[in-house]
Amino acid sequence: MTDSELDRIHIEGMSFYCIIGINDWERVAKQPVEIDLTLYVDLSRAAETDDVDDTVNYRTISRSVRDFVEGSSFGLIERLAEGVAALCLDDDRVQRVDVKLRKPGALRLGRTVGLEITRSR
C-alpha cells in the first residue's frame, strides 16, 4: 500500500515531563513536552473483525511513548522526536509515523518551540 492508501490513527495532545535541553539548568529539572502522533496503518482487517488484536492499540502506543519520554534525557528535541518515531515503528503494522513535538516555554518570545518529523519503514 502507498501512503495515500493507508489509514491514519491520530493521537493528539499527549503531555509529558522529561529532561530535555542543552543548558545546565535544563539538565536539572524535568520540563514539559507535548506530542501528537499520526500512525499510518491498514485498518481494513480491524474494521472487518472488530477485534483490537487486528489494529494498532493506541493505548499501548501512548503508554510506550510516555515511558520512553519520561525516562529520557536528551539535549535536543530532534533526538527525542526521532526516538518516539522509532518506538512507533517497532509495531510492524505501522508503516509511517508523523511526530509533532513541542517544548512550551522554550523561548521568552514565543509560546512554544516545536518540530515535525516523518519516518517510514
pLDDT at 89 over 90: yes
Residue with cell 539548568: 25
Report yes or no: 84 and 99 within 8 Å, Cβ to Cβ. yes
Domains and CATH numbers, the chain: 3-120 (3.30.1130.10)
Per-residue pLDDT tens over the stretch 3-58: 778 999 999 999 999 999 999 989 999 999 999 999 999 999 999 999 999 999 99
Q: Has 100 been annotated as catalytic?
A: no
Phi-psi region of 14 (alpha: psi -120 to 50; beta: other; left: phi over 0): beta
Taking residues 75-94, report their average pLDDT.
97
What's the confidence (pLDDT) of residue 111? 87
Q: How far is CA 108 from the centre of its chain?
A: 25
Q: Cell numbers of 79, please?
A: 533526538
* Whether this model's pTM surpasses 0.85: yes
Identified catalytic residue from 81, 94, 101, 103: 103
* pLDDT over 90, % of the chain: 85
